Amino acid sequence: MTIYKKALPAHNMKFKFKGAPQVIMGHTRMTTQGSEKINANNHPFYSEKLGFALAHNGVLYGEKYIRKTEKLPDTDIETDSYIAVQLIDKQDALNFKSLKYMAEKIEGSFCFTVLSKDNELYFVKGDNPMCIAHFNGFYIYASTKEILTKALKKLGLKKYKEVSIKEGEILKINADGSRERDEFNMNYCYGYSWYDYGGRPYYYGYGRKKNKEFTDEYLEELVACAKSKGIDKSTVYELFDMGYDYLDIEEMIYDPALMYYCLHEEELYDEI
């Protein structure tokens, strides 16, 4: 297995494949925790113990608490996603059982892709969007249907079948192209950043910030992700106008309570 990653926009990365790989797993990271300038914080993450690579789309909460209660070793990797690798490693195997264990321990929003050393590709589908297409013996996937459709159009691939995957499901694509499935129980418990203030929820430490620069490509992906969660693009634009940046809004999409607070911040302050 070869992992190549850099602190660069994906379209600026240049690399060559060694031989003819059966599986290629790509990931473009929007930084939420852990500086992207430290390459160890970037996806995919590699398991030295079991020889798999893992990438995560979403935001996890309480990873320090999980590391403590599960007696997992400390790590220099600052990214919340790495806790998933450690939980799988703890089970001494990469399979449906260990992935189910991991998915039921974590809290937050997620969709994981996990590539084994035997060219098995797993999708662990939480409440984050995921779209998979199958055509002529090949599979290709992306975080949303809009992004995948756009990519397939650019590649000139028109005839394909969408592969279903639902929330709380693990899909395994074997090296021969066959598929297997299993399920896990979703953990919908959020709230590590909330406490009660005068009988009302209040988000600690969250404030408006000056917009960071963002590209049309990032905005397009953000709007597509919001749409998959039932959030209108006008809400995304409103949050930008309020001063929140791309990463702030991405986190809100995965945490409806946080989005509600940020949209009604002044009203809530007036009530308090």
**Position 190 pLDDT exceeds 60:** no
**Angle formed by the axes of helices 216-228 and 145-155, to 10°?**
130
- DSSP conformation letters of 132-154: EEEETTEEEEESSHHHHHHHHHH
Mean pLDDT of 33-45: 72
Check: CB of residue 236 under 8 Å from CB of residue 227: no
The structure tokens 């398991």 sit at 47
**What are the chain's domains?**
10-130+165-183 (3.60.20.10), 194-271 (no CATH)
Mean pLDDT of 257-263: 81
Q: For residue 4, what is the enclosing H or E element?
A: none
Residue scoring higher pLDDT (94 or 216): 94
Residue scoring higher pLDDT (32 or 240): 240
**CA–CA separation, 10 and 208 (whole Å):** 28
Check: CB of residue 44 under 8 Å from CB of residue 7: no
Tokens for 99, please give them.
């992935």
Check: CB of residue 147 under 8 Å from CB of residue 221: yes
**CA–CA separation, 77 and 48 (whole Å):** 14
Which pLDDT band, with edges at 50, 70 and 90, does 198 fall under?
very low
Q: pTM here?
A: 0.70
Tokens for 174, please give them.
């074997």
End-to-end CA distance of the chain: 55
Alpha-helical (H) ranges within the chain are 63-69, 82-90, 96-105, 145-155, 216-228, 233-241, 246-254, 256-263, 265-271
**CA–CA separation, 270 and 267 (whole Å):** 5
Length of the chain: 272
